[in-house]
Structure 1
Amino acid sequence: MCGIAGVVGYEAGNASESTARTMIETFGYRGPDDSGTWKAPNDPVALGHMRLSIIDTSHAGHQPMLSFTDSKEQVDADYSIVFNGEIFNYIEVREELKSEGVVFNTESDTEVILKAYKFYGRSCLDKFNGMFAIAIWDVAAKELFIARDRLGIKPFYYYLSESGDFYFASEVKAILAVVDKTWETKLSLIDQYMSFGYVPGEDTLHDGVKRLLPGYSAIYSKSGLEIEQYWDITFNDGSEDKGLSYYAKETEKLIKSAIDLRLRSDVPLGIFLSGGIDSSAVVALLSEKTDARLNTFSVGYDFGEQFDESHYARLVSKEFNTNHHEIKVDPKEFKVFIDHYIDLMDEPVTEAAAISLHYVSQLAKENVTVVLSGEGSDEIFGGYDFYQYMTFIEKIRAVIGGSIADILAVVGNKISKISPKISKYLVLTGQTFEQRYRGISSYGDTYKKILYKRNVKEVLAKKKNTGVSAYLQMLFNKTKGLDVLSRMLYFDTKTWLVDDLLIKADRMSMASSLELRVPFLDYRLVEFAATIPSHYKINKGTSKFILKHIMKDYLPDEIINRKKMGFPTPLKMMFQNELSEYAHDVLLAKDACIAEIFVRSAIDSLLNDHYHDKADNHRVLWQLIVLERWLKKNNVVISLDG
């Protein structure tokens, strides 16, 4: 696990080792064990790398790594690579290449990638099982190959300047450090942020800085940037059902195999344990493979049982005799950490649970260098409660028809103050699936109507088909004809998972120089889970039915049947206590950046209503705080033109 950066300067000639060095030094925490830069002797390219040593911890794994033609003089290098992540099946790929006569000089997975690219070309990506962001300079072709893993576990950002320089990095801040310009953000992207709590797809709120999408690779040369998709998920169209026994047996086999691969490490590892079924499953299955006591780590708040899963984590720890470590987050620490959170997240993402993850990552780093977690299980097995009510609403619409649903939606709007919960369901009933699942819930729309200034509403009304909207529509179009649950799982894997949860996981773990591995996102398991009929994922009101069916032989009933919590944070109560004054000072400051687009009196009302317990506005208040602090700390200007 590392951090990478680089620049190709065909036009302006800004590619230098000093540029690469400046970029990687912005995220030194990603690789405290080693660092390196390389400037191509005869080409306008510079690469940089920060290393956290996991596989082959010797200097042989140093990056940028070069391959050579006839000699080992730098001028004879034919390829150079920087790589962030792990190729878990690197041993198998290396043996396959050896059988073809390829010679290796190290035990590192980095060399396996480099030699595989030289031998197979872009199709080498089909060989890799792992999490990765890759950049390889081809000296002969004078082009840069870049790639991101199938699920987007590792980040990859890039920026093409007006002068023709192509910058890339593991974090946006590395690009900002070397590109001298006033950064703007589009109003349409802020609107998407207010809907989702993050910006989905390739765009970021730094206008012009883009993400390489998961499952995509690209070639950058003088001809420009050529992007292609090398992987996608194909769901069961409902035409095949091999029975629960078959799917359970194969799923269990794949989960165990995924865990096996992720045990490959030359440094100590542990497990994040919430006491939920996902992390508990990892503990249970990993315990079968070792006699050594596992290190497990959990986090909670001193705000009551609803924000503290330690009871369940201890139960699992006792069951499997782990060496368990706990940390409790003080709400006062939460407030102090907010600005650092903004810096580490790099993008405005309203994932408050990231702060909990930061503290438990710090705890884990005191004992291990690698941790496994249960991330991704909900998106492949259908673990969220809203999957059930979204499916239920779709069944209602099928029975009563769209016109009656529209009438119910009107009724829902009229009773919003009397019964918000019933109102929400009635309003959702009046929306098509795509309207409902675009991230624009009835509550979200209500907040926007209150918050946006008139001129902002007018601009957004003219921007109905933004780049982000087009991306979301493309995702919906790809799943037409599938059942509702499959469509939601595909959509969430491409948006919520990658642009929220995995960003959180990467930033908070790497901030502590800790590698986080996610066995449920082994691409083989993801591909197979997509073939499982939806009624084995949600069955008679039970979410993740097939996973619970598998794990009932491994875990206590209390864990199998407990309600999902994740990394809960007591923001609702904090905005009535520790964060009340802070929120008021940040959001209502005279020089607040968000004052340009939001109505001040509306924000004041949201704060007061929440403080006096007249409404639960904690989600939108947190969204506004994250956006305001991000705009101010990054000196980003809001473009009211779009």
Structure 2
Amino acid sequence: MSGIIGICYQNGRSIDRTELERITDSIAHRGPDGSGIWLEGGVGLGHRMLWTTPESLKEQLPLVSSRGDFVITADARIDNRDDLARQLNLTLSVDIPDSALILAAYEAWGENCPTKLVGDFSFAIWDKRKRAIFAARDRIGIKPFYYHYREGRVFAFASEIAPLFQAADLEKQPEQDAIREILATFAIAHGRTLFKGVQRLPPASTLMLCDGNLDVRRYWEPIAGQGRRKPDLAGHIEEFRHLFGEAVRAQIRSAYPIGCLLGGGLDAASVLCVAARLVPDRTRLSSYSMVFDLLPCDEREFIEQTVQQTGVGECYHRGRRGPRRGLGRFAGM
């Protein structure tokens, strides 16, 4: 969970460095491990860093491409690093952060680059050649991306809504239709928020701002199964086991001890059991669980069975009374 912000003035106004630093620091809670800004004329990008993976420990954002044509700020965790490196003819090492892979993918495939990425990401690239901003969000929408656009004046984006009010001189006004929708249906359209003038980039979507035109497109849709397939229970089990294991393996790429949120259900228990096989060093893997003494639902019996099965350390957080043992710093699953 890092934080990104960006401002693009379209009325000739220049970015003030002090103001850009202040707005970037307003999301310091998303990234306590460092900050950076880049600005040129009326375009400015900011970043707050949270170290999680080994590659992120050396990452400096915003990042300028080797030829100086592109600048990126990103909140990203790319899981298909090896595959991307092969496609891009790169020699992969811990010195190549995920943001550099995204930049290389953009240089190679342009606006189609998100289709090549596997992982959780939201990023924005300033393309100096086109004088354009290109942004994208992962397929499920794990990483947030909010934006405001006033044609001919300003485009601003951020990982959270609050910085947009500062970056775009935007007045806080409720979006009544969105409020009614969420109260009536407990759901809200992917592109809308509760504030007028603030949009959310939907999952699996890209955004391009070029020559004053803002274009948002979907780059991926889930594909429904076509026709009826002959039942093959053993094959389905094997395929699920493989995909599930690969998903867990991707999440344990960490520079820190790994924490698994554990409840009494099969989903979290399955994740922890697979992680325990992939991380034999028990000092690097722990579970933590929320329990509530005053509620009738108590999952501790099932939690403890999973903990005993895996042999990992456990930590209970009892409502608001605080943890039994300190959590420390985890790259959580």
Using the size of structure 2 for normalisation, the TM-score is 0.91
Instruction: Report the secondary structure of 2:27's partner residue.
Output: helix
Find 1:316's aligned residue among 298, 303, 306: 306
My pick for the range that moved more, 138-147 or 284-293, is 284-293
Counterpart-to-counterpart distance in 2, 1:315 and 1:83 = 40
Q: How far apart, CA to CA, are the structure 2 residues paired with 1:124 and 1:116?
A: 5
CA contact (8 A) 1:55 1:266 kept: yes
Offset of residue 179 of structure 1: 3.2
Number of aligned residue pairs: give it.
331
Q: Is the 8 A contact 1:86 1:109 kept in 2?
A: yes
Aligned residue for 2:329? 368
Correspondence for 2:78: 87
* In structure 2, distance between residues paired with 1:105 and 1:266: 11
Q: 1:105 to 1:300 in 2, by over 3 A?
A: closer
What secondary structure does 1:184 align onto? coil
Give the Cα–Cα distance (whole angstroms) in 2 for the partners of residues 249 and 103 of structure 1.
30
In the alignment, does 2:261 pair up with 1:272? yes
Q: Which structure has more strand as a fraction of its residues? A: 2
- Please give the residue correspondences for 1:202-281 in structure 2 after superposition, counting only pairs within 5 Å: 202-281=191-270
Instruction: Find the aligned partners of 2:166 and 2:254 in 1 and give their Cα distance.
Output: 33
Residue 20 of structure 2 corresponds to 20
Which structure has more relative contact order (CA 8 Å, sep 6+)? It is 1
Aligned to 2:318: 328
Distance 1:176 1:192 in 2: 23
Please tell me whether residue 304 in structure 1 is matched to residue 295 in structure 2: yes
Aligned position for 1:171: 160
TM-aligned CA deviation for residue 163 of structure 1? 5.2
CA shift digits 1:263-294 (9 cap, x unpaired): 22222212100121000000111122232223
Letter in 1 for 2:32: P
The alignment partner of 1:177 has SS state of helix
Q: Deviations over 1:276-330 (max 9, x none)?
A: 1000000111122232223000012121331x32222112111111100001014
Tell me whether 20-29 or 206-215 shows the greater mean CA deviation. 20-29
Counterparts of 1:104 and 1:246, CA distance in 2: 35
Deviations, residues 597-624 of structure 1 (Å, cap 9, x unaligned) = xxxxxxxxxxxxxxxxxxxxxxxxxxxx
- Map Cα deviations across residues 75-127 of structure 1 (whole Å, 9 max, x no partner): xx21110000200122331233126xx89893211111111111221222122
Change (3 A) 1:97 1:104: farther
Partner of 1:63: 61
State, as a whole percentage, how many aligned pairs show the same letter: 27
Normalised by the length of structure 1, the TM-score is 0.49
Alignment check: 8 A CA contact 2:206 2:218 kept: yes
| Partner secondary structure for residue 81 of structure 1 | strand
Deviations 1:202-229 (A, max 9, x none): 0101111001000001111223111111
User: Match of 1:496?
Assistant: none
| 1:163/1:138 CA distance change after superposition, 3 Å | closer
Q: Partners of 1:88 and 1:200 in 2: how far apart? A: 28
1:250 and 1:104 map into 2 onto residues whose CA distance is: 30
Contact 1:83–1:132 (CA under 8 A) maintained in structure 2: yes
Match of residue 98 from structure 1: 89
User: Counterparts in 2 of 1:6-155, with a 5 A limit?
Assistant: 6-11=6-11, 13=13, 15-40=15-40, 43-56=41-54, 60-69=58-67, 77-98=68-89, 106-155=95-144
Return the alpha-carbon distance in structure 2 between the equivalents of residues 239 and 60 of structure 1. Answer: 49
Greater Cα shift, 110-119 or 143-152: 110-119
From the superposition, tell whether residues 231 and 58 of structure 1 become closer, same or farther in structure 2 (CA, over 3 Å).
closer
Question: C-alpha separation between the residues in 2 aligned to 1:181 and 1:135?
Answer: 21
Map 1:493-508 → 2, pairs under 5 A: none
Give the structure 2 partner of residue 505 of structure 1. none
Aligned pair in 2 of structure 1 residues 287, 147: CA closer, same or farther (>3 Å)? same
Structure with greater proportional helix content? 1
| Contact 1:12–1:163 (8 Å) recurs in 2 | no
Conserved in 2, the CA contact under 8 Å of 1:14 and 1:165?
A: no
Alpha-carbon distance between aligned partners in 2 of 1:244 and 1:103, rounded to the nearest angstrom: 38
Q: Kindly tell me: are residues 205 and 57 of structure 1, through their superposed partners in 2, closer, same or farther at Cα, counting changes over 3 Å?
A: same
For 1:279 and 1:238, the matched residues in 2 are separated by 32
1:473 is aligned to none
- In 1, the alpha carbon distance for the partners of 2:33 and 2:137 equals 23
Distance 1:105 1:317 in 2: 32
After superposition, the Cα gap between the structure-2 partners of 1:175 and 1:14, relative to the gap in structure 1 and judged at 3 Å, is farther
Query: Structure 1 residues 231 and 57, CA, compared in 2 at 3 Å: closer, same or farther?
Result: closer
